[in-house]
Chain A
């Protein structure tokens, strides 16, 4: 049974090594170059989620307050409880 145990252990180790090699050799540059080229050209880096028309395509920022002329703060946001 000890031999079998070692065999299972070796198999798990092999899986970890294969994963590590794939991770190290993974191509990150071509993706970041491609995304950066378009972001540099358009100056828009919002993710292209497949959203309905009523949802914002360029989103991510929820604050709609001008700091010099604040509108009434939204009351449903827990802003009073947690400091920003």
Chain B
């Protein structure tokens, strides 16, 4: 390749026109960087959430009233336990608690620490000595966002909750949950189930919803039908629904990102097409000269194709690499806020490096094909005209 005159001419041509190429590479780089960053963040969050699906219960039974979720009577668990094939029936208690004149809210989650599964999970978070101490008094585990918020409002060791009944409940801050769990636990306060019921104003006979597993997958539809016929105001949420919801989270195929990307791409192609269809007189003369020297139309197109591909590949690699560095090394400052929201507590998550090669190749194709055609079509139009006319 090194001795090939064509290759030699191509590199000469490429570096001679470097000013023009740098301009195009810069515009492409910004577009590719933004698009890749958005897709990297969304695929990373989706990956982390999908990892938790194993911990998710197979079914959750909720009660609705006027389209809103309301508390479920605890006696519904007895009905569930009677159905053959159901295991790990766990009542869940959770709800939002307001701080500071209703400006910010936290998610209070009640856990039955005596339950075997919860106890086992708690052991992964703290060692045996801590566990005994934790279960002794009224303690809470909080997410990093909650801890930061409480410290900023002078509650470094605990907080006194005001229950809906007007009573005060002092709870000691026992431990902050690991930073790695921020994706789901940033605004979480984990307390014993009875304490959560008190804080959220529920009676002992009420829970938020009931979770359970059905180990035999073939029984899922049957169990769903059976449970749905128990009550009129009951809603069954399956693990598949949750999985589907995670798959659709920031789905670039149907979301606002695709619309934005299409608008940007079309604008970019229009600019390029206009730029190349106007074709400067020097460019026209250059193509005409090559044709007059005996280059065939194919040779001219080949030259322009490789020149454009060099620009495309350079912009693509730089754009994607810059996005990778920005998202997975720097943690995507600013752009991350669009995904995580900023109305309540500030969340700072660790973005796991995930590269979806399907998405990467789609970006390349969506970017390269219109770009190459926006350049080659005007070049071909000039190349097929008479060299004399082209050089005028």
Q: Is A83 an interface residue (CB 8 A)?
A: no
| B211 surroundings in chain A (CB, below 8 A) | 43
Q: Which of A44-84 contact B (CB under 8 A)?
A: 44-53, 55, 57-69
Query: What's the Cα separation between A23 and B325 when bound, in Å?
Result: 11
> Of residues B55, B245, B314, B328, which shows the largest number of chain A Cβ atoms within 10 Å of its Cβ?
B55
Interface size of A by CB at 8 A reads 52
Query: What's the Cα separation between A14 and B136 when bound, in Å?
Result: 56
Cβ proximity bits A1-24 to B, threshold 8 Å, 1 near / 0 not? 110110010001001100100110
Query: What's the Cα separation between A38 and B111 when bound, in Å?
Result: 11
Q: Which of B51-99 contact A (CB under 8 A)?
A: 51-57, 64, 67, 90, 92, 94, 96, 98
| B51 surroundings in chain A (CB, below 8 A) | 32, 35-36
Is B355 in contact with A43, judged by CB distance below 8 angstroms?
no
Is B342 in contact with A53, judged by CB distance below 8 angstroms?
no
Is A2 in contact with B8, judged by CB distance below 8 angstroms?
yes
Interface size of B by CB at 8 A reads 88
Is A34 in contact with B2, judged by CB distance below 8 angstroms?
no
Is A22 in contact with B329, judged by CB distance below 8 angstroms?
yes
> Of residues A41, A42, A69, which shows the largest number of chain B Cβ atoms within 10 Å of its Cβ?
A41
Query: Contacts A23-B353, A41-B118, A48-B347; is A61 near B242 (CB within 8 Å)?
Result: yes
Beyond A28-B353, A53-B96, 19 additional pairs, beta carbon < 8 A: A2-B2, A5-B11, A26-B328, A26-B353, A35-B181, A37-B124, A38-B185, A41-B111, A42-B188, A44-B184, A45-B56, A45-B242, A48-B184, A48-B188, A49-B341, A52-B343, A62-B245, A66-B234, A67-B224
What are the 8 tightest A-B residue pairs by CB atom distance, in nearest-first order? Answer: A34-B180, A60-B245, A26-B353, A40-B121, A45-B52, A68-B228, A39-B55, A50-B341
